[in-house]
């Protein structure tokens, strides 16, 4: 379906660099009719696609873009960055390329939405945000889960005290990818393969949403990071990574883990309070419901209530694109739901996890 725009909507002109699976999902979602998700103020138009070869860019356009005749293919990323008809660049390249890709796009005067992880170190992230501020350009890490309809209602339960004072959160994202070839990006050290960079941003997300953003926490970063890493024997990337974090102001703890060799659990995020629990159901990057379970007391029996928030239009990546559009329309450099501060905090934690867990940093830097 095409993406019609009304006379009152603001249209974002997108350039897409990379032609992999995540880019396919993104372009599919932003081409859906915005009205199907209740969006009337923002529309999206893809104006250019770039790959390492012109043929791949052209093939991507033919296979995945509806209004293909209005899209320009490029065989280099720089050619796309230089295209005056591109307003915002979506970056879905391999992890270690993000830093250079974002830097080149900003230096060409383009706004940027870059896939997670934004960079492979906190130092790189800090440098890119400083550059964006200097050039007065929008940039955001693409953690699409933050913009899904389930997030705000779940936060309201936790922040409002419905399950009492928060004491801990268990947040996991596990997936068994099976017998991958050693050159696959998930097993390739030179592509920053492994669990932490690929799945880790999602398992880190939920402690951020429920504990870091908790009003009583005052946006205080976690401390006392205690990691444990099991390295995959095939190529040495991190296969299972876990760590504990403390949120001192809340008196709360987060246990976070991710794995590329463990089957996905149905209830991977559990928030525990003094009065009960909140459990999110479904895969960590797009849960579709949550259950509030209140413990029994002297005055009332235990009680469970489930609330559903299904994603009925696409995969759910369009909400973050809509948020980008509103920021561009309103002249904002960062989005309130995905602030630069939180991306930098994540990368600092990941730095500590890698160093403390014995990761050979020379593999990815």
Please give the residue range of the domain that contains residue 218: 149-310+345-363
> Are residues 157 and 278 both part of a single domain?
yes
User: What's the number of domains the chain is made of?
Assistant: 2
Strands (DSSP E) found in 159-251: 166-174, 223-231, 238-247
> Are residues 29 and 135 both part of a single domain?
yes
Count Cα atoms within 13 angstroms, Cβ side, for 352: 15
18 has a pLDDT exceeding 70: yes
Q: pTM of this prediction?
A: 0.95
Residue 108 lies in a domain: yes
Residue 339 lies in a domain: no
Q: How far apart are CA 157 and CA 7, in angstroms?
A: 38
Q: What is the CATH number of the domain that holds 153?
A: 3.30.360.10
> Are residues 163 and 27 both part of a single domain?
no
The count of other CB atoms within 10 Å of the CB of residue 14 is 25
Residue 126 lies in a domain: yes
362 has a pLDDT exceeding 90: no
> Are residues 351 and 228 both part of a single domain?
yes
CA geometry: angle 227, 229, 235, nearest 5 deg: 150
* pLDDT tier, 11 (very low <50, low <70, confident <90, very high otherwise): very high
The count of other CB atoms within 10 Å of the CB of residue 54 is 14
* pLDDT tier, 267 (very low <50, low <70, confident <90, very high otherwise): confident
Residue 272 lies in a domain: yes
* pLDDT tier, 264 (very low <50, low <70, confident <90, very high otherwise): confident
Residue 187 lies in a domain: yes
Residue 2 lies in a domain: no
4 has a pLDDT exceeding 70: no
Q: How far apart are CA 70 and CA 66, in angstroms?
A: 9
Strand order in the sheet with 111-115: 72-74, 42-50, 10-17, 88-91, 111-115, 139-142
User: Do the beta carbons of residue 74 and residue 50 sit within 8 Å?
Assistant: yes
> Are residues 231 and 298 both part of a single domain?
yes
> Are residues 137 and 245 both part of a single domain?
no
Q: What's the DSSP call for residue 221? A: P
321 token code pair? 């694109």
Tell how strand 42-50 and strand 88-91 pair up. Answer: unpaired
> Are residues 28 and 88 both part of a single domain?
yes
Burial of 312 (0-12, 13-18, 19+ CB in 10 A): exposed
> Are residues 296 and 154 both part of a single domain?
yes
323 has a pLDDT exceeding 50: yes
pLDDT digits (tens, 9 = 90+) for 157-181: 999 999 999 999 999 999 999 999 9
The count of other CB atoms within 10 Å of the CB of residue 331 is 8
3-state secondary structure of 87: coil
Q: What is the CATH number of the domain that holds 139?
A: 3.40.50.720
Tell how strand 289-294 and strand 276-281 pair up. Answer: antiparallel
> Are residues 111 and 224 both part of a single domain?
no
Residue 3 lies in a domain: no
- Percent of residues in the chain assigned helix, strand, coil, to nearest 5: 35, 25, 40
User: Do the beta carbons of residue 180 and residue 271 sit within 8 Å?
Assistant: no
> Are residues 78 and 95 both part of a single domain?
yes
Report cis status (omega within 30 of 0) of the bond before 346. no
Residue 199 lies in a domain: yes
């Amino acid at each position: 379906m095409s993406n019609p725009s009304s006379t009152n909507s603001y249209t974002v002109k997108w350039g897409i660099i990379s032609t992999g699976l995540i880019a396919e999902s993104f372009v599919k979602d932003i081409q859906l009719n915005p009205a199907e998700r209740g969006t009337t103020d923002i529309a999206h138009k893809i104006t250019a696609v770039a790959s390492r070869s012109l043929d791949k860019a052209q093939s991507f356009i033919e296979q995945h873009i509806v209004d293909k005749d209005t899209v320009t293919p490029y065989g280099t990323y720089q050619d796309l960055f230089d295209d005056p008809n591109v307003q915002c660049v979506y970056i879905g390249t391999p992890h270690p390329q993000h830093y250079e890709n974002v830097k080149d796009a900003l230096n060409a005067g383009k706004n940027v939405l870059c896939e997670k992880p934004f960079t492979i170190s906190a130092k790189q992230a800090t440098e890119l945000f400083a550059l964006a501020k200097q050039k007065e350009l929008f940039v955001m890490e693409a953690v699409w889960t933050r913009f899904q309809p389930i997030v705000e209602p779940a936060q309201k339960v936790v922040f409002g005290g419905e399950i009492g004072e928060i004491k801990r959160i268990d947040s996991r994202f596990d997936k068994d990818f099976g017998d991958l070839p050693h050159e696959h990006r998930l097993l390739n050290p030179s592509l920053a393969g492994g669990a932490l960079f690929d799945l880790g941003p999602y398992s880190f997300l939920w402690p951020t949403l429920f504990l870091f953003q908790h009003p009583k926490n005052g946006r205080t970063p976690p401390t006392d990071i205690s990691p444990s890493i099991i390295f995959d024997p095939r190529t040495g990337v991190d296969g299972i990574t876990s760590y504990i974090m403390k949120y001192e102001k809340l008196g709360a703890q987060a246990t976070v883990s991710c794995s590329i060799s463990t089957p996905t659990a149905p209830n991977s995020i559990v928030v525990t309070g003094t009065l009960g629990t909140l459990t999110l159901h479904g895969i960590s990057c797009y849960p579709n419901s949550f259950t509030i379970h209140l413990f029994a007391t002297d005055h009332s029996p235990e009680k469970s209530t489930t609330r559903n928030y299904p994603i009925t239009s696409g995969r759910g990546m369009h909400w973050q694109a809509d948020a980008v559009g509103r920021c561009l329309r309103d002249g904002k450099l960062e989005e309130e739901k995905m602030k630069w501060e939180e991306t930098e905090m994540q990368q600092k934690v990941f730095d500590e996890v890698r160093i403390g867990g014995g990761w050979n940093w020379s593999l990815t830097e």
